[in-house]
Structure 1
Amino acid sequence: MYDLANQSFQLLINTLLFPLFVTSVVVSSKEHGDTAWFMMSATSLGLVVLLSPVLGAMADQRAWKRELLIATGLICSVLTFTLGFLQSGQLPIAFVIYLTAAVACGLGENFLGSFLPEISTPRNVGRVSAIGWTMSYVGALVLLGLTAVYTIVLDRKEPAEMRPMLCFAGVWFGVGMLPAVFWLREKATPSPTPAATIVTGAFLRLAASARESARYRHLARFFFAFAVYSAGTMIMIYGLGVIGNRLGFDLGQLILMAVIIAVTAGASAAAAGRVQDSFGHTRTISVFLGLWVFASLAMAAAEFISPPPAVYWGLSCVIGTALGGIGTSSRAIVGAFTPPHRAGEFFGLWGMIYKGSGMIGVALFGLISKVAGQPIALIVVAGMFGLGWLLLFRVDESEGIRAATEDAATDHIPSGSGHE
């Protein structure tokens, strides 16, 4: 259910409504608004990068995954509600509120993912991951339906009229996380260190893992490939509304595009969950990367040839299929390569890499678009997906699973981390 809850921030705030609200309402100049939005996005991702590994190690050390998941969710839901009260010219206030909420949401994703090794096995991790990922797109469809009613049926299509929906996004998040508050339980037990402070102990745990990096070399290789192609994925998530706006879409068309993407993404995530465990994690990811390459190049070409509307809707189906599949399959392979007692730490690294590559990718996309134009920037995005696909050939899936299984069997924590 938490996957469904945080979709209000991912969809309405990061992708659909808040970028338009910033570029059209908070900042008077559209060009400056686009730059401000990409900088806000990149800064929030950068902070998540800095905090993820330390807080992840701390969550394992103190068995705080549940507490940190709930705390970050509450912070994000409350601050998201306040976004609806922003006025024109309040960019610094918007920056601070959005930044804090986005960091809380990003860290919460890490803590949510870190429960995957506790509730799954290497044989069904793909299916379990897909259930949560599919729920997120079910939430997206409901949110899009409500947004469509508000904007189309009630004729509230101007960005300045989006304030109630921004407030609603915060309420949705808060209500949706209640099942986690009441029923989610953590199986891990604390493993305190002899360090003077919790933060020092977290750093000692990270240092101990670094000394044993050879044990997890295939996870490290996957993380390298993941960093490359996730830059492209995050560009699409954060920039799809801006890209669609530049292609001439009005708000109604953007909502229709988002509905198509949500439906196909949910179906793709569910399908990936059914086949990934048997078909193979890396092969499943490779299929979706191929779709991303095609979608990126097609969007670049669309700016030159002005295709009919049907082409855009078909392309939205391809984007949705790629988005839903790449998300759940990437999270699942990390779960398969992670022993449960290191889940917070490794998913903290996952979040750090995901957000770090996104920070670089979003900033790079904004810069290239400004200097060379959006079509060239989209061609660069296609290159990110292609290079990520090539790097996957270095990942031995069976060896990665074996390393995690052996470590889990011994519940081994390197000397110096103080596991008891």
Structure 2
Amino acid sequence: MNKKAVRAWIWYDWANSAFATTMIAAVMPIFFSDVAAKSLSKTTATAYWGYTESISLVLLVFLSPILGTIADQAGRKKQFLRFFTYLGIAASLLMATIGEGDWIWAVILVIIGTLAFACSNIFYDAFLPEIADEQDRDMVSSRGYALGYIGGGVLLALQLVLIQQPEWFGLTTISATQISFASVAVWWFLFSLPLFRHVEEKSKKTEESLLKLCKNSIYQVLQTIKQLPRYPELLRFLIAFWFFNDGINTIIKMATIYGREIGIGTSDLIFALLITQFVGLPCTLLFGKFAGWFGTKRTLILTIIVYLFIVLLGYGMTTAFHFYTLAILVGIVQGGSQALSRSIYSQLVPIGRNAEFFGFYGLSGKFSAIFGPFVFGLAGQLTGSSRFGILSLAIFFLIGIALLWSLNLEKGKQEAKQ
């Protein structure tokens, strides 16, 4: 194992997590509500943010299988990783130009940036088998994940100081926030340099054309879908996952702009999300212990019940204290629910078909995540209050819990061996 290449790969997680934290979760949703969409009502601004997230995911669903195949077979991972990294950096830099009333420009840049961020991760992840031996991959992957948590949190803390005390730097709140967007571009660029310098591509370029590779990837997805009825328990889990995962992703993406709509202060919103970042890592490990004691399925259901409570808390939320409570609860269960879902799915996947079914798992998760932000935004627009938007997410978690409760894990393991 090339330790220099491993360290460089891990630092990329530190680099691009700044986009996820600042642009998707924390600062941009507030700026969109207060500044870019100032000409719109608060409920409409929240709905449009939800639609923006859904559009990004629709585009990502179409691109993911094609890019995944290219990452596996075309021998151009580094080339495509560089392209999408620089596209995301450019979008982040241009977000510094968004001013009052520029909500259309903001929507365009957020879609481009989110798409670039997600696509870059496809090629970034594909380097893991090349830079780490099989027995080391869990450790290397975990270190990258942990460093990403910390990196996103560190930059967000610096941005919080800049945004809350702009007069210290001779700035206004708007210009300080715009500089924060530009700082994501600089951060992403600087800390991605080690990967491009020290990580070399080992896979050989295929002789097949990109068009043929794309056709093959679409054919593979369709074939996997046809096989699903042969594994009823796996299909049951997948449907449950589609519902509760959509609810989880919607809370992550909509919580901040929803909090702003109901009057929570900017500093409280950002600081609460900082807490989420640093609570998440140890609690993910703790839920791994719980799964060993109480069983993986029971522990996963517990995390989803907590999310159901988060929805109810969000519906009645009126104060910053409520938002802090919500943020801490999300931090406690977010990583655990993701890790336990992946663990259960791995036990249900047919033997010898891990790559095929995990590829479909990732793709279907992205597809399911389209609907939550759309339903949130639509419910808010139809009722005139985003409180009903967050309440609408309860159905996603209730269906997920019901399907998980009826899941026969032992039967599913036997089906996987057939």
TM, length-normalised to structure 1: 0.80
Question: Which of 316, 323, 346 pairs up with 1:301?
Answer: 316
Structure 2 residue 244 is matched with structure 1 residue 233:
no
The one-letter code sitting in structure 1 at the alignment partner of 2:157 is: G
2:378 matched residue in structure 1: 367
Shift of 1:44: 0.9
Aligned to 2:18: 8
Alignment pair present for 1:37 and 2:49: yes
Amino acid paired to 1:146? L
Once the two structures are superposed, residues 170-197 of structure 1 have per-residue CA deviations (whole angstroms, 9 ceiling, x without a partner) of 2222233334434446676677769973
* Mapped partners of 1:393, 1:269: distance in 2: 22
1:80 pairs, out of 92, 95, 115, with 92
Residue type at the aligned position of 2:397: F
Output the amino acid matched with 2:23: I
Q: Is 1:321–2:332 an aligned residue pair?
A: yes
The Cα of 1:166 is off from its aligned counterpart by 0.3
1:354 equivalenced with 2:369 (yes/no): no
Maintained 8 Å contact 1:222/1:395 = yes
1:222 Cα deviation after fit: 3.2
Q: In the TM superposition, what is the alpha-carbon distance from 1:240 to its structure 2 partner? A: 1.3
CA distance in 1, matches of 2:197, 2:185: 19
- Note if contact 1:7-1:139 (Cα within 8 Å) is conserved in structure 2: yes
Gap regions ≥5 residues in structure 2: 1-9
- State the AA in 2 paired with 1:6: N
Deviations 1:298-329 (A, max 9, x none): 121234xx6xx544433321121122322344
Does structure 1 residue 246 correspond to structure 2 residue 256?
no
Q: Which amino acid aligns with 2:27?
A: L
Following the alignment from structure 1 to structure 2, what is the Cα–Cα distance between the partners of residues 124 and 282? 27
Compute the displacement of 1:368 (Å): 0.9
Provide the residue aligned with 1:24 in structure 2: 34
Contact 2:27 2:270 in 1 (8 A): no
CA contact (8 A) 2:234 2:412 kept: yes
Matched, 1:256 2:268: no
CA gap 1:366/1:347 in 2 versus in 1, 3 angstroms: same
Aligned pairs for 1:84-99 (under 5 A) are: 84-99=96-111
1:103 to 103, 107, 115: 115
Q: Which runs of 5+ in 1 are unaligned?
A: 408-420
* CA distance in structure 1 between the aligned counterparts of 2:343 and 2:124, rounded to whole angstroms: 13
CA contact (8 A) 1:232 1:385 kept: yes
User: How far apart, CA to CA, are the structure 2 residues paired with 1:396 and 1:178?
Assistant: 47
Structure 1 counterpart of 2:394, one-letter code: A
Equivalent residues of 1:293, 1:383 under 8 A apart:
no
Q: Is the 8 A contact 1:127 1:276 kept in 2?
A: no
Amino acid at match of 1:147: Q
Letter of the 1:177 counterpart: S
% identical aligned pairs: 24
Q: Residue 7 of structure 2 corresponds to which residue in structure 1?
A: none
Output the CA distance in 2 between the equivalents of 1:189 and 1:273: 37
Q: 1-side partners of 2:237 and 2:277: how far apart? A: 27
When structure 1 is superposed on structure 2, of 278-287 and 309-318 the one drifting more is: 278-287
Aligned counterparts of 1:233 and 1:36: Cα–Cα separation in 2: 19
Higher normalized contact order (CA 8 Å, seq sep 6+, divided by chain length): 1
What secondary structure, in the 3-state scheme, does the structure 2 residue paired with 1:295 have? helix
CA change 1:187–1:268 in 2 (3 A) is: farther
Which shifted more, 226-235 or 175-184? 175-184
Output the CA distance in 2 between the equivalents of 1:273 and 1:109: 25
Per-residue deviation at 1:148? Answer: 2.0
The answer to whether the 8 Å contact 2:48/2:377 transfers is no
2:3 aligned residue: none
Q: What is the distance in 1 between the residues matched to 2:210 and 2:106?
A: 38
State the shift of 1:162 in Å: 0.7
1:61-115 CA distances to partner (integer Å, 9 max, x unpaired)?
4355555444322321222122112334444433333222211212333444556
Structure 1 residues 109 and 145, CA gap change in structure 2 (3 angstroms): same
Match of 1:199 among 214, 222, 231: 214
1:181 maps to 2:196: yes
Per-residue deviation, 1:40: 1.8
- Per the TM alignment, residue 147 of structure 1 is displaced from its structure 2 partner at its CA by 1.4
The equivalent of 2:284 in structure 1 is: 269
Is 1:166 aligned to 2:178, yes or no? no
Q: What's the TM-score, normalizing by structure 2?
A: 0.80
CA contact (8 A) 2:92 2:184 kept: yes
Task: Give the drift of 1:164.
Answer: 0.5
Structure 1 residues 70 and 329, CA gap change in structure 2 (3 angstroms)? farther
Do 1:22 and 1:33's aligned partners in 2 also have CA atoms closer than 8 Å? yes
